[in-house]
Amino acid sequence: MTIGMTPEEQFNGKTILITGATGSFGTRFAQTILDRYEPQAVRVFSRDELKQYEMQRRFADESRLRYLLGDVRSVERLQRATRGVDLIVHAAALKQVPACEYNPFEAVQTNILGAENVLTAALENGVPKVMALSTDKCVNPVNLYGATKLAAEKIVIQGNSYAADSVSRFACVRYGNVVGSRGSVIPMFKAQAAKGFVTITDPRMTRFWITLDQAVDFVIDAICRMGGGEVFIPRIPSMRITDLAEAVAPGAEHRIVGIRPGEKLHEVLLTGDESRHAMSTQLGYVVLPHHASWPMQEVEDGVPLEGGFVYSSDTNESWVSPRELRAMAADVVATP
């Protein structure tokens, strides 16, 4: 794929706004951009004043950070926050499956209407690039969280049809479970291990697995390559939940508690239907829109996928070994 910009061209001297910037991904993304490049400013946009205060203390010597309290539910606040911005990384979301199931109206307002508001503000202010973070849960969704992220993906990709007379372009990155992120199973396994057991919903379960640093690097690459309308999917390994349990809590009893509502045995990152209009690249896959009403950037090193190809966690060619899982989980703190 032709790289539209080098990372230095994309980030040096630019103003970047990150929604959900005090979350696991947002914080690491901001730190990486500040460490590697020379942005003019990185705007931290989130609704939690305590997390912003904690982030200010962590980055006390960093003058390029700007802290903006706001909610993606407010298009007016986003319009003000995105003035003069060159890039938006949209990471804000409600992502806990049980919480979204119990509070469906809240999930819709943040995950769906929030995505629309981000695009509206970007179009209003002529923000050149918006990269939205998605999830494997949006593929053939079985819970409300996945359904809201599917809708958000559609809004972001088809939002390019509103940008015919604008410099703004929109794309998505879709990946799997992030090691050690808030809500990850590893902290729970570590806490349970101290009691001599871990709870497993179903021993057949598999998941895609990616580290936080890998996710940040892939998003940076996708931002540089995007032309507008793409869904970028990394080529990442799978892991078995039983291997993870053994790696984190060796010798602990495995208590099978049954699959939870809204949970799948296996996750899918790319469907057979999508493969008909997707490309394979060195780093992963790129899903293109069925019918783009805007000019699409050519995927020069992309190889068209055969129709029917499915990228699923249970049939993946790459797997994380127990040893690699132990290394990944080493720095994750146990939480009840």
Pick from 284, 133, 287, 154: nearest CA to 219: 133
Find the catalytic residue in 95, 129, 137, 264: 137
R_g over Cα of the chain? 20
137 tagged catalytic? yes
Distance CA 261, CA 102 (A): 11
Cβ–Cβ contacts within 10 Å for residue 40, how many?
13
Inter-residue contact 181 to 212 (CB < 8 Å): yes
Using N-to-C axis directions, what is the helix angle for 241-248 and 322-329, rounded to 10°? Answer: 60
Contact yes or no for 9/33 (Cβ under 8 A): no
Q: Which of 58, 299, 83, 333 lies closest to 193, judged by CA? A: 333
Do the beta carbons of residue 31 and residue 62 sit within 8 Å? no
Cross-strand partners of 18: 44, 89
CB-CB contact of 171 with 228 (8 Å): yes
- Which ranges in 254-333 belong to alpha helices (H)? 272-275, 322-329
Active site residues: 137
